Structure 1
């Protein structure tokens, strides 16, 4: 069910789709093309469709481009539910089936990358291709490489227990959502500091003011880890492009790259001089790489 459209700061008309009685916000730009698969962009943790504005503007010249706010983020509903990769992959697959109506090339950053991988692996008819940009998600081998000392385990478990309590979780949320905290966090994960604009900070801050945002934040600490990336790659059968911001302090790009190539050697990959969000830091490069790869690797399949 679609509702009345709204206008975003990116000047692209947006709409709401009702999913499980919750409003899901999405954008669509560019004309449909029977020869080219549409792109579906999935944001990372704490972000939204706004984080793709530079990519939508460039890519919609060549493709029909869709972008969606995951449940709990952006302008989408924020119910007091248990959030998980399973929930988001069901949301994305249903959106592809019910709204777009044809298979897409999925592109996701961080958490959005992991969600896209889940969809492409477990709903193969929905994905014609997959683009992962500094994608999140654990590998099986990463869980067994080393075990922390007992004292560190105890501290970690105590900290987790504390955060799971309502008041500490709420206070942490209030601190995390401050504009000054958002700016400091971005300064750590963006190589190009000039890309950290007031608008970017406002785009991240604004959804934190929505009713239910604090409960969504608290739920993240209870989110199940989900399927391991290597197991998902074993199920994948579509073209894969991985883009790595090599200055990302959260994701060791060389290590992650080796893991992805081990389990999916036929992938295509590029390393970019950027941090955790290369699509926002170096959008022209990312847009060009996506365009060329889709035309060469996806359209010929």
Structure 2
């Protein structure tokens, strides 16, 4: 009898979680473009990849690739996008598996994202400057070839998010348990905690619309598949970041929030010294200086084309 009750309780709980997830997806609705500009679609390997364009086409090209986490999307560049468009022909992409792009149940990998970064820039733009955040900075670094990019601006780049845990990827991808776990990870309190802990120096800088969009993007069909690879460590490239920076064939600027803790400034100084690249430090910011101090970062980036 006890076993029967336990099984019945587990089935009921799984059913309730599934119903709750469907209701949340319905409430989230279809994602709108969070950026001011023209929405376009790039067809890549059977996927529709969404991107936004703004600014004078005669200006130098700048492509923005957001960082990776459960709620990642091009919304990361919302605070700075218009300012960038004053000096650049600027493009911001929702990487495959995130935002308004398709989210098929692939096993996402560092190689896949490296190839996407390279091929998107080659097909859509002409020798752009690349602004890439966090782990995506390592993909941009891998994609850099002579003549492919004008310059890389890497925001708190990393190539190591921790030990690989393939079992966690399998768990998060599972239909019932994985959906329930991801819904907990993507709850509004969890999203606010993530932004407060890792994204911003000043919690008052977190915009309500940012949290709302983060919640909506994590409740789209297929939202957990790409983050499942991220949280399991499966997206980390297999190289030493300092060595790769030293060998990069194009100029690199490292952009760092002075108060960053997850990837601290001392790491930025170490990388800049080892690779001989520029380091720009933004005060009162952590991992998202371009979102927390957009005017300062936009002014710095404008200086690169003057």
Check whether TM > 0.5. yes
Name the count of aligned residue pairs. Answer: 268
Change (3 A) 1:241 1:266: closer
How much has 1:262 moved relative to structure 2? 3.2
Please report the TM-score for the alignment, with normalisation by the length of structure 1: 0.81
How much has 1:188 moved relative to structure 2? 1.4
In 2, Cα distance between the equivalents of 1:161 and 1:19?
29
Please report the TM-score for the alignment, with normalisation by the length of structure 2: 0.80
Change (3 A) 1:164 1:210: same
Aligned to 1:41: 64
Aligned to 2:234: 223
- Higher mean Cα deviation, 127-136 or 261-270? 261-270
* 1:20-99 mapped onto 2 (5 Å cutoff): 20-33=45-58, 36-45=59-68, 46-99=71-124
In 2, Cα distance between the equivalents of 1:17 and 1:39?
17
- Higher mean Cα deviation, 202-211 or 214-223? 214-223
Deviations 1:6-60 (A, max 9, x none): 9724332211111001010101101122xx5311111011321121122210011
CA contact (8 A) 2:268 2:279 kept: no
Q: Which runs of 5+ in 1 are unaligned?
A: 1-5, 144-155, 296-301
Q: Which runs of 5+ in 2 are unaligned?
A: 1-30
* 1:129-208 mapped onto 2 (5 Å cutoff): 129-138=151-160, 161=167, 164-165=170-171, 166=174, 168-189=177-198, 190-208=200-218
In 2, Cα distance between the equivalents of 1:282 and 1:213?
29
How much has 1:162 moved relative to structure 2? 5.6
How much has 1:161 moved relative to structure 2? 3.7
Change (3 A) 1:7 1:203: closer
Structure 1 runs of 4+ off > 4 angstroms? none
Deviations 1:211-241 (A, max 9, x none): 1112223233262531321232132122211
In 2, Cα distance between the equivalents of 1:10 and 1:245?
23
